Chains A and B, each alone.
Chain A
């Protein structure tokens, strides 16, 4: 146990070192070159803005996270459910998959002003809508792929046991699809935060991060805007790590291959 923590710290210590060095470099360069504060404030100024507005910042971050998470849940559940149906009926798949794959390549976040118009822009639902749409497509496409990537011989073996389709689904298709699902969930967790914040840029409650970032930037409150971006990063990274931890648990049988990105 202690040994594993030791080994882990050996893994993350270098990264922590880089972070500290980067912040130091940032601070040094901004001071040395007299960079204008509206271009890039120094870390210590951002920290001061952060420290003096903490409760407000965390509240705004929590508000935005709720939107992102709500949209994530709705979009992912819808994506999974439709994928299960589509993977079961080939005809439906042939009809829908080309569009889903195309939609996956479209910058859906551009629709954020439209979903604001569909729902009350001050309400969380309008941001959940854009986040849900963003999450839906990668999850749908990946789960269909996962459910279909079952090897024919694994199905043949199940047939030799004379078991029903539901059992095959539970014992073979779901476990096969899980790694595909989690790859999509990790992407979706990032997209949900992007969707919620961008949605807020186009008009949102002043309790939210995006509206605050937008307002502070336009009022030349750059340190505050940066502090809000830091909060967005904290929630975004936390969300991603939570999904990654769920993945590790759900697919703990897998050989661990270090993958980069999604």
Chain B
């Protein structure tokens, strides 16, 4: 059973924007799939369709073998947006605990899990801080901890590191891979950085714009676990070039990463 199964999905917004057209995609357990493409090609829309945050105009989406709606109601996925989307009136610990609270976990269980999560994202000691007291990178780690806190089988991430500087982003990339390996979850990751997509993914889905379609799927055969050395392998550059060329064929010019 695939974790995500997308069949013939199209999305036309009111006003006539065709954001997605005839998307077919299957994502298996344990994969790290990146969606890459020019802005406006429907990456976020596709992610939201998977999360049942918007409904497709046509086609079907199943998550863990259920309808996307049922999967959402069953808390089958965690989501991370480009902005950390933290609730400022809650402390870091309470932000992480929010989904647990909504799922009715007891206070003791919540507390134990929050501690575990803050360890995972290396924010131990910041539990009682408020979000505005943290840097952008730390805030995003809180939001990742929150998304992982209830152990969802699927993690949806929409350009989570897009607002960070290059150095922080590379560090966060490495951390994310570590977390992904530790949690054995499946990740769907939206990015417009070629380097980020190649470094993180087991498979890259290249999308083209107007209408949003999948133009190429590129498996990434770089060895696991990956580290700083991975970025210097010849194979890394070959794959980056392959992604870049696929993006160009998609009919647009992307600034090389």
Q: A178 contacts which chain B residues (CB < 8 A)?
A: 89
Q: Shortest CB–CB separation between residue A52 and chain B, in angstroms?
A: 50
B47-88 Cβ-contact flags toward A at 8 Å (1 or 0): 010010100000000000000000011010111010101011
A12, CB-defined interface residue at 8 Å? no
A255, CB-defined interface residue at 8 Å? yes
Total A-B contacts with CB atoms under 8 angstroms apart: 46
B162, CB-defined interface residue at 8 Å? no
Q: B98 contacts which chain A residues (CB < 8 A)?
A: 161, 171
Mostly helix, strand, loop or mixed at chain B's interface? loop
Partner of A154, one of B79, B85, B102: B85
Contact of B51 with A160 in the complex, beta carbons under 8 Å: yes
A136-178 Cβ-contact flags toward B at 8 Å (1 or 0): 0000000000000001011011011111000100011001001
Q: Given that A153-B81, A253-B130, A255-B132 are contacting pairs, would A160 and B87 also be in contact in the complex, using a CB cutoff of 8 Å?
A: no
- How far apart sit A159 and B130, CA to CA, in the bound complex (Å)? 23
Q: Shortest CB–CB separation between residue A47 and chain B, in angstroms?
A: 46
B227, CB-defined interface residue at 8 Å? no
Contact of A253 with B89 in the complex, beta carbons under 8 Å: yes
Q: B88 contacts which chain A residues (CB < 8 A)?
A: 253-254
- How far apart sit A42 and B89, CA to CA, in the bound complex (Å)? 50
Mostly helix, strand, loop or mixed at chain A's interface? helix
Contact of B89 with A157 in the complex, beta carbons under 8 Å: no
Partner of A157, one of B73, B79, B90: B79
- How far apart sit A249 and B90, CA to CA, in the bound complex (Å)? 14
What is the interface size of chain B, counting residues whose CB is below 8 A from a CB of the partner? 22
B99, CB-defined interface residue at 8 Å? yes
Contact of B85 with A160 in the complex, beta carbons under 8 Å: no
Closest to B94 in A: A253
Q: B132 contacts which chain A residues (CB < 8 A)?
A: 255
Q: Shortest CB–CB separation between residue B81 and chain A, in angstroms?
A: 5
Closest to A157 in B: B85
6 closest pairs, A vs B, by CB?
A: A175-B89, A253-B89, A162-B73, A153-B85, A160-B79, A161-B102
Closest to B152 in A: A160
Q: A175 contacts which chain B residues (CB < 8 A)?
A: 87, 89
Q: Given that A153-B83, A167-B102, A253-B130 are contacting pairs, would A160 and B89 also be in contact in the complex, using a CB cutoff of 8 Å?
A: no
Q: A167 contacts which chain B residues (CB < 8 A)?
A: 102
The A210-253 residues at the B interface (CB cut-off 8 A) are 251, 253
14 pairs from A and B in contact (CB 8 Å cutoff): A153-B81, A153-B85, A154-B85, A154-B87, A156-B53, A156-B81, A160-B53, A160-B72, A161-B98, A161-B102, A171-B98, A251-B89, A253-B89, A253-B90
